[in-house]
Amino acid sequence: MEAARATVPPWPDVERQRGRDTRQRLWLALVFPHFSLEMACRGLANHEPVAVVEGQGVRARILACNRAARGVGISIGMPLSAAWAVTAELQTVNQNAVVEAAALRGIAAWAGQWSSLVSLMEDKPPGLLLEVGGSLRLFGDLERLTARIRAGVEELGYRALCGIAPTPLAAWLLARINDSRPVRQSEALAGRLAPVPLLFLGLEKTTHKALENMGIRSFGDCQRLSRSGTARRLGPELLRYLDRALGRVADPRVAYVAPAVFTRELDLPAETSALDALRFAARRLLLELEGFLIARDGAVGELELGLRHNREADTCIVIRLLVPGRNACHLLALLRQRLESTKLPSPVTGLWLRADKVLVSAPPAMDLFGSAEEKKEGQQLLVERLQARLGVDAVRGLEGVSGHRPERVWRYCSPGTQSPVAKSEVMASRPLWLLACPTPLAHKPQLESGPERIQSGWWDGEDIARDYYTAHTSDGARLWIFRELRGEQRWFIHGYFA
């Protein structure tokens, strides 16, 4: 007896372990009821009639269509040929399961910023499950978090129905019936799930048929069946389903792990070369990238945007950042300037965005009083913006270099990277303006002071031997001039004492 007791692990550990496991879980389900259609339309800024088509050839039928298409008389289930007869302006997109799966993964990667556990629901309609119980502390309360997620999804170009419950299945069902009031306690689940129609449960066909024949119409009806009778007649499937939905048994979900490289594509239903339309579509992709990067606390230093054409090779735009970043607005501003100066060979049929190297983001440490770092970031933004349009070589800083030759004591450098130079060298009077190359003087002006002999540089072949003077002209300009000590001994003007 005593020995048996000794093998039982001490209580506190068990308690602690349990405490961790029973932390209140809360699931947010996002259901995308019009996924195929939104996939097709999300790259479009304006509302042209768009329809998703299912099937091939004469069997082709309209699977979904947007409001603009409904407005002109297109309806779901209509044969494609009939739809063409209604309007010739209809843009059609074939349903593509592969592209849809990739798009759902794109949203899942984006959603990683809100939750540490995002699970795919590749159902019809598709959706996502997010464990948000652990995110509440970080994002404030549930309402605020839900509102932000919904707004974010909308920015990406999708509309989602939400459901919130302590079990993933219950959250999913609530979302399906568009009941967005959150359920916090498992006890309340039975009542709230009662109106869910039988069809939404996604049971096996035979079970579904049998229940329907028994006059069962909803989740509530299923709950009223006796457990033993149901198990005997229908097998364990329904009971297991009910138990998972109501939280009586565990319902573990596989977390989606986003790939290390960001690659997303977006097809445009109608080809376009309008700058606004391209920017609109690019913004969708950049927002996805931003979410993806926040989720892994990363940043990118370089990203590539491709514009697909019908025949020509893709137009690639590479954006390099001085400081790795992920802010979609900033990236879009840079992209916009590049787009403006890019010549497109033909209209664009689709876009892709790729970021191969995800760097670890080094968020700026905030200062207590109006941050110095923030200011620095603003400084970098300006340089990036100017360089994006004018070119890297057009925006430079100045740097002093030690030496004696007037042309070699300074140079351009990358902004803000000056290396400090010892200030010890006392410069005799030097002009504020220097001419890029000395210009010959026709006649000798009136000298003020000098000469200062500068003779140096024999070791690199660009040696100079000059006598420098200051001089002034009749109209008041003071000049820095020199006479060559070799050859023709001509006079040159090299700068202005502006």
List Cβ neighbours of 301 (8 Å cut-off, separation of 6 or more).
320, 321, 324, 357, 359
Single out the segment in contact with other proteins by CB under 8 A; choices: 30-38, 142-150, 173-181, 431-439. 431-439
List Cβ neighbours of 453 (8 Å cut-off, separation of 6 or more).
465, 466, 467, 468, 485
Q: Are 481 and 461 in contact (CB under 8 A)?
A: no
Residue of 12, 436, 446, 461 that binds other proteins (CB under 8 A)? 436
Question: 220 or 415, CB closer to other proteins?
Answer: 415
Single out the segment in contact with other proteins by CB under 8 A; choices: 86-94, 143-151, 200-208, 470-478. 470-478
Distance CA 176, CA 124 (A): 11
> Does residue 457 bind other proteins (CB under 8 A)?
no
Distance of CA 412 to the CA centre of its chain: 34
Distance CA 217, CA 92 (A): 37
| Nearest distance in Å: CB 458, other proteins | 22
> Does residue 495 bind other proteins (CB under 8 A)?
yes
Question: 233 or 478, CB closer to other proteins?
Answer: 478
Residue of 24, 46, 371, 418 that binds other proteins (CB under 8 A)? 418
Question: 257 or 398, CB closer to other proteins?
Answer: 398
Question: 412 or 458, CB closer to other proteins?
Answer: 412
> Does residue 454 bind other proteins (CB under 8 A)?
no
| Nearest distance in Å: CB 405, other proteins | 11
> Does residue 412 bind other proteins (CB under 8 A)?
yes
Question: 317 or 383, CB closer to other proteins?
Answer: 383
Q: Are 146 and 162 in contact (CB under 8 A)?
A: yes
**For residue 65, what are the CA distances in angstroms to 71, 76, 87, 93, 196?**
10, 7, 13, 10, 26
Question: 3 or 394, CB closer to other proteins?
Answer: 394
Three-class SS state of 350: strand
Single out the segment in contact with other proteins by CB under 8 A; choices: 6-14, 273-281, 323-331, 469-477. 469-477
Question: 226 or 424, CB closer to other proteins?
Answer: 424
List Cβ neighbours of 488 (8 Å cut-off, separation of 6 or more).
none
Distance in Å from the first CA to the final CA of the chain:
102
State the binding string over 370-409 for other proteins (x if CB under 8 A, else -): -----x--xx-xxx-xx--xx---xxxxxxx--------x
| Nearest distance in Å: CB 394, other proteins | 5
State which amino acid sits at residue 319: I
Q: Name the maximum alpha-carbon separation found in the chain.
A: 119
Residue of 128, 149, 479, 481 that binds other proteins (CB under 8 A)? 479
List Cβ neighbours of 493 (8 Å cut-off, separation of 6 or more).
435, 438, 439, 440, 441, 479, 480, 481
Rg (CA), the chain: 35
Residue numbers at the binding site for other proteins (CB under 8 A):
375, 378-379, 381-383, 385-386, 389-390, 394-400, 409-410, 412, 415-416, 418, 423, 427, 430-436, 472, 475-479, 495-498
